[in-house]
Structure 1
Amino acid sequence: MKSILYIKNMVCPRCIMAIEEILDKMVIPYTNVTLGEITLKDELMGEIKEELKNRLEKIGFTIINDRKGQLIEQMKNLVINKVHHSKSLDGVKWPEYMADELNLDHKYLSSLFSSVESITFEQYIINQKIERVKELLIYDELSLKEIAYQLDYSSVAYLSNQFKKITGMTPTKFKNSAIQNRNSLDEVH
């Protein structure tokens, strides 16, 4: 019987590869590994599940057992996937997108997120977008105007104001500073 495990702190393709490697070494049959989810061919029991849990925890992942935690992790992974792993946000309407993807009312999802994470879902999206801006500034391949367009900001001025509000410095100052503080995606709140 197919089973899904929800995993906390998966934020990139390397996370997927690391988990696939563990599953392969343990000879656990699976059909798919995506950000935040492992789809197993069969449900895991007892010692094997405990061993998987321990191996995942050694590399910074956690199996999420409660439904609310699973929903929040799914929301985070949808944002990370859109913001960090797609070419453009192209007018994403976050409330509708979340509701469609998770088949739940966006007001419920937003309220749940805020109650558990102690920030609003909207602030989480902004924080993820700012981390992406930092990454793109460091790569130095796109102009600020191109970055603003890619991340669906209405203008460079709006992006710059939001960036300064979050980081305390302008994008240009950040780009030119010797210390370019970036947070790992699983630490962005």
Structure 2
Amino acid sequence: MVCARCIEVVRRELERLGLDVTEVRLGQVQVRGHVSTDQMAQVKAALEKQGFSLVADAKATLVQRIKAFIEQTLNRNDLGEQKIKFSELLPAELHTNYDALSALFSASENQTLERYIIDRRLEKVKELLVYTDLPLHEIAYQTGFSSVAHLSNQFKRLTGLSPTYFRHIRHQKQTLQKATT
């Protein structure tokens, strides 16, 4: 799970199955009481129907926890107020050496952890470009990029477009969609 909407879908599905959900966090679920084998099969089927899968392997679980922590951190409102260093935050959160986390992530995801973090930050940038009118310097600040130039270079590498042009295209498409409805 990598977003708040995912959390709500998972909570709803588990509660629909009669489970007493105590906590749903990105990548983790806690329920009160014992979950039988039959209930686990129902959970698995319900989650797969929603596009999710259960993660039972310890390494896969750790990778999911890495992704969840990155997502939680990137969704914090105070992200720009402090210099985020995932190389320090992840080991503190997961109690594992960063090099080991990075190697596990790369082996599992066929992508470096650093590249994944940059890509997730750029997805957050896209979201802010589409749904807000924040200036680029504020978006760079909120997503932890050191400057607008750094943000623009990374964004263009990923999308082939400048952030300004991306925003312009999205606004044009939204205007056309509103005009046709």
Q: TM-score, with normalisation over the residues of structure 2?
A: 0.88
**Among 128, 131, 152, the residue aligned to 1:139:** 131
* Structure 1 segments (4+ residues) deviating >4 Å: none
Shift of 1:66: 0.2
> More relative contact order in 1 or in 2 (CA 8 Å, sep 6+)?
1
* Greater alpha carbon shift after TM alignment, 88-97 vs 73-82: 88-97
CA contact (8 A) 2:136 2:148 kept: yes
Shift of 1:154: 1.4
Alignment partner of 1:51 is 2:42: yes
Secondary structure of the residue aligned to 1:62 is coil
Higher helix share: 2
Secondary structure of the residue aligned to 2:54 is strand
* Greater alpha carbon shift after TM alignment, 103-112 vs 19-28: 19-28
What is the aligned residue count? 172
* Greater alpha carbon shift after TM alignment, 30-39 vs 79-88: 79-88
CA contact (8 A) 2:21 2:30 kept: yes
The one-letter amino acid of 1:70's match is: T
Question: What residue is the counterpart of 2:11 in the other structure?
Answer: 20
Q: Give a deviation string over 1:131-169, Cα, whole Å, max 9, x none.
A: 111111112321000011111211111111111111111
**5+ long unaligned stretches in structure 1:** 1-9, 181-189
Shift of 1:85: 4.3
Rounded to whole Å, the distance in 1 between the matches of 2:66 and 2:20 is 26
The one-letter amino acid of 2:120's match is: Q
Shift of 1:179: 8.8
Q: Give a deviation string over 1:54-93, Cα, whole Å, max 9, x none.
A: 0111001111010000000010111111113434252111
CA contact (8 A) 2:130 2:170 kept: no
Rounded to whole Å, the distance in 2 between the matches of 1:179 and 1:69 is 39
**5+ long unaligned stretches in structure 2:** 173-181
CA RMSD of aligned residues (A): 1.8
CA contact (8 A) 2:2 2:68 kept: yes
Rounded to whole Å, the distance in 1 between the matches of 2:32 and 2:95 is 24
Identity %: 39
